[in-house]
Every structure is written in C-alpha cells, then in structure tokens.
C-alpha cells in the first residue's frame, strides 16, 4: 500500500481524500495557495506546502510546483481529486516519470477518453450504444448538411475537445446548422486550441444518467449502478441521486453491462464514470467518460456501502479488485444537495465572503462533506461549492424527508447560498414524483420568476 500521498486539490474533496488516507494509515501532504492558508485541508494534513498565489493557474494548476512538492516531501502517490489536474494526461505522465503513482487511470486512457470523437468511436466499436451521428470529425459544410438531412433535424454540433457543454450548438434547420458549425469551431479553437467538431442527432428532453466504474490494474472492472444527474443548471449539477428513479433493475443491469464492456475495451483502471443520455423511450446512449472521482460520488458510496476513494488508493497501490459484480448489491436511496455560495433562484450570482454562522446537520443517515467552518472566508478565486449534504434512507421518499429535515437544521449566515433553492425543490411536486429531465431546473426557475412578478 502507498505510504505517503500528496493531495493535489483544495476544498471539500481535499478533506474527503485526507479522511480516506487517515483510515488507511497513509501520511498526507496538502498543497495550498496563498488564499487557502487557513483552509481545513491544510490543518488536517500531516504536511502542507504552499504552491503559489491565489490564482488557480499559478497554484493548483501549477504542475511544476506541485510535482516539486511531491518529490521534496517523498510522496509515493498523488491524488488529483476532481477538476484541476485530474484529467490532464501530461500530469499523469509526469507522475510516472518521477516514479510517483498517479491515483487514476493511465495518461493514455485520459488522453483517449478526453478526445470525444475518439472516445465515441472506441465505445461504438466495443458495443456500447452511441448517439446516431457522424463517424468522427466533420470537416466540410457539404458532408455536414448531407448527414444532418439523413439524421433529421434537430441536430447538435459538438467540439471534440469539449465536454461539459462547452463548444456545443443546437440546430433546428440548415441555416442554424451552418452558423452553428462555424461558431462551434471558432469557440473550440479559442477554448481548446482544437477546432475539430462532430455532429449528432439531438435527443430531446433526456435524462442525464451516469454509471460508476472501478477497475484494477489486471483488467477486472465492476460497476456501482447509476446516478441521476438531470437536476442541473447551465451544466452545473445541483442535486444528484442514487439510484435513478427512472432506472429499473433490468435497465441498470443493461447499462452497467455496457459501461463495463466499454471500460474493459480500453483496459480501464481506477475510478471512472460513463455518462449516458436516457431518452423518453428508455434508450440510452454513451456521451462521454469522466476519468476521475466525481463530486457526486458519495450517493453511490451510501447505497453500495463502499468507500470509493479508499478503493481508488487501494487499486492504485496495485491490489486486486477482490470482488465481482454479483457481490455489489445496492440498498436504499441517497440524495446529494450541493451547497454553493450563490443564490440559485435569483440568477446565480456568486456570493463570496465570510461565513458568520455555520450549524451543520447531522443525525441518522446524514453525511456532511465540507471544508467550511464558522469564520471561514469563501474566496472569489475558486468554485462556489463549499459543502455537500448527502441523505440516505431505505427509500426515495424517506431520503427526501431526511434531506428536507437536514436543510432545516442547516444554518449558514453571512453569505447567500443555494440552500433556499434546495428547501423549495425538496417540496416540489414534480421533484417528489421524479417527473423531470435535464430541462427541469431551468424551466422551474423561469416559471418561478414569472409567478413572483404577478
């Protein structure tokens, strides 16, 4: 087992990873920016190293400084968390070159799956259902328009190097398509230095469902069912659940089997997530594969009774998975609410500042993952999420009740937060009936604004 790990991240996920290390008797090295001197992850780690000024680019994204801290302090492994360096193939390569274990997949896997056209072609060849569309990149207007006519409108243009909604253009007719083609390419060139785009049939009113995977270094892969991630706004997830209320046992087995098939085709190792769109006829399609631990991993942990971060570390240390698919039995229902320093209901304006009062929820079935405390100052330099509440119960209805109760207990004073949004959503009839798709939150906020004006 790895004996000393550097955590190349900040915030709640850094705290989460340090906790896993503690339970495994692994020594921890935190890195921090000048703005994070007083952060909880700095206090919790055995060693803490300042790696740069407040700007992420110069600190948490500073490959050289982080690698220097790892080498200087004898790290045997580096856990990248999510965001930052977690999906940078170059960083995984640097780790390997320095004989440090990157706790994640290989650099080659990160690179392949980060290229959305390559990832899609690979998954299609492996037998994973993909969204009908171009075979690879589309390079000229003639083939673009011909293919769109064949697929039927609406269609969507996506950037190969994109993901998470960047560089996407919806087109309902030829005119919009030609315009979208050139603007998507220009946006992709500017954002990713790569103007490659591909074309897909647009799936209307889908759900966003993702399958959790774990693989060891010996070709064994299992899945931990799915998470429902449709409740998002501007590609920022707000509420996630495990299992999805839209997925039957049969569908779960089918999606899981396809996700494992795809992961095995690339000899995938460590934690990963396969994202699918689920249409109203229950067809599911591969969208992309995330090669990292994700924000919403705790809902899966609570339902499957497993610590995914400890598993990541154990597998990266070269241990065998040690269990099979039949050993993984879900139990109950978990919901996560992301607590952000922004009031979602009034246009999502970020609200950095000092938390004057913090009282955290607890009790049976409630998990609080956060780096925040009374007096903590939320910096404008980083992501606005400062906590996650995860509520588990034997069924969905009780999990919602428990979340509602937790949101009532929670007190955050001094900043604006997403708490009022969550309190209202937990009581919403459509949410309670699980009657929603990826369009729901935005429509709900729109309708709410209109009814406020009356």
Interface with ligand MV4 (CB under 6 A): 131, 156, 163-165, 200-203, 206, 208, 232, 235, 277, 287-288, 438
Which residues touch 367 (CB under 8 Å, ≥6 apart)?
Answer: 298, 302, 389, 390, 391, 392
Residue 317 or 340 having the CB closest to ligand MV4: 340
Catalytic option among 292, 314, 338, 402: 292
**Minimum distance from residue 232 beta carbon to ligand MV4 (Å):** 5
Shortest reach from residue 244's CB to ligand MV4, in Å: 13
Distance CA 361, CA 85 (A): 32
Q: State the DSSP H helix or E strand holding residue 443, giving kind and residue range, or none if neither.
A: helix 440-453
* Residue 168 or 266 having the CB closest to ligand MV4: 168
In whole angstroms, the minimum distance from the beta carbon of 205 to ligand MV4 comes to 9
- Least Å from the CB of residue 207 to ligand MV4: 8
292 as an active site residue: the answer is yes
- Nearer residue to ligand MV4 within complex by CB, 194 or 325: 194
Distance from C-alpha of 18 to C-alpha of 31, rounded to nearest angstrom: 12
Alpha carbons 257 and 128: distance in angstroms, whole number = 9
Backbone φ and ψ of 184, nearest 5°: -65, -40
Nearer to ligand MV4, 206 or 256 (CB): 206
Q: Which residues pair with 388 in a beta bridge?
A: 338, 369
Min CB(405)–ligand MV4 separation in Å: 28
Strands 27-33 and 4-7 turn out to be parallel
> Which is nearer to ligand MV4, 97 or 170 (by Cβ)?
170
Sorted by sequence, the CB contacts under 8 Å of residue 304 that are 6+ apart come out as 224, 225, 328, 329, 330, 331
Q: How far is the CB of 170 from ligand MV4 (least distance, A)?
A: 8
Inter-axis angle of helices 11-23 and 308-316, to 10 degrees?
70
Contact (CB, 8 A) for 368 and 340 = no
Length of the chain: 454
Residues 6+ apart with CB under 8 A from 250: none
Please identify, using beta-carbon distances, which residue of 277 and 403 lies nearer to ligand MV4. Answer: 277
Q: Specify the residue, 159 or 387, whose C-beta has the smaller distance to ligand MV4.
A: 159
Dist. CA 113–CA 260, nearest whole Å: 15
Instruction: Please tell me whether residue 87 adopts helix, strand or coil conformation.
Output: coil
Contact 126, 262 (CB under 8 A): yes
Look at the alpha carbons of 129, 130, 136, 140 in this order and tell me if their dihedral is positive or negative: positive
Tell me how far apart the alpha carbons of residues 384 and 416 are, in angstroms, rounded to a whole number. 11
Minimum distance from residue 314 beta carbon to ligand MV4 (Å): 30
The residues annotated as belonging to the active site are: 292
């Amino acid at each position: 087992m790895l004996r000393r790990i550097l955590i190349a991240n900040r915030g709640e996920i850094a705290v989460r990873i340090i906790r896993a290390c503690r339970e495994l008797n692994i020594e921890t090295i935190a890195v921090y920016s000048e703005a994070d001197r007083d952060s909880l992850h700095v206090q919790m780690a055995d060693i803490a190293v300042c790696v740069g000024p407040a700007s992420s680019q110069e600190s948490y994204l500073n490959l050289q400084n982080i690698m220097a801290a790892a080498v200087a302090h004898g790290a045997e492994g580096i856990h990248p968390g999510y965001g930052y360096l977690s999906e940078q193939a170059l960083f995984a390569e640097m780790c390997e070159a320095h004989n440090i274990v990157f706790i994640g997949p290989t650099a080659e896997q990160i690179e392949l799956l980060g290229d959305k056209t390559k990832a899609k072609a690979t998954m299609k060849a492996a037998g994973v259902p993909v969204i009908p569309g171009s075979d690879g990149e589309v390079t000229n207007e003639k083939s673009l328009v011909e293919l769109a006519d064949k697929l039927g409108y609406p269609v969507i243009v996506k950037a190969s190097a994109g993901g998470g909604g960047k560089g996407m253009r919806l087109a309902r007719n030829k005119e919009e398509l030609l315009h979208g083609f050139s603007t998507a390419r220009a946006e992709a060139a500017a954002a990713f230095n790569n103007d490659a785009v591909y074309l897909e049939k647009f799936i209307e009113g889908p759900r966003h469902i993702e399958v959790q995977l774990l693989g060891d270094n010996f070709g064994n892969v299992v899945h931990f069912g799915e998470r429902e991630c449709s409740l998002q706004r501007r590609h920022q997830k707000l509420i996630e659940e495990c299992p999805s209320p839209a997925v039957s046992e049969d569908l779960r087995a089918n999606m899981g089997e396809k996700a494992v098939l795809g992961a095995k085709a690339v000899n995938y190792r460590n934690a990963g997530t396969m994202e699918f769109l689920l249409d109203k006829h229950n067809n599911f399609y591969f969208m992309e594969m995330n090669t990292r631990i994700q924000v919403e991993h705790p809902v899966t942990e609570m339902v499957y009774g497993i610590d995914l971060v400890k598993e990541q570390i154990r597998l990266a240390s070269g241990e065998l998975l040690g269990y099979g698919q039949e050993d993984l039995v879900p139990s109950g229902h978990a919901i996560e609410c992301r607590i952000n320093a922004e009031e979602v209901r009034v246009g999502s304006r970020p609200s950095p500042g000092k938390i004057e009062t913090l009282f955290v929820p607890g009790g049976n079935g409630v998990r609080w993952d956060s780096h925040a405390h009374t007096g903590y100052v939320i910096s404008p330099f980083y992501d606005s999420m400062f906590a996650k509440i995860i509520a588990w119960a034997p069924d969905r209805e009780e999990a919602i009740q428990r979340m509602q109760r937790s949101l009532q207990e929670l007190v955050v004073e001094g900043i604006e937060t997403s708490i009022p949004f969550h309190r209202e959503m937990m009581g919403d009839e459509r949410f309670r009936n699980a009657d929603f798709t990826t369009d729901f939150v935005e429509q709900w906020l729109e309708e709410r604004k209109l009814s406020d004006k009356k």
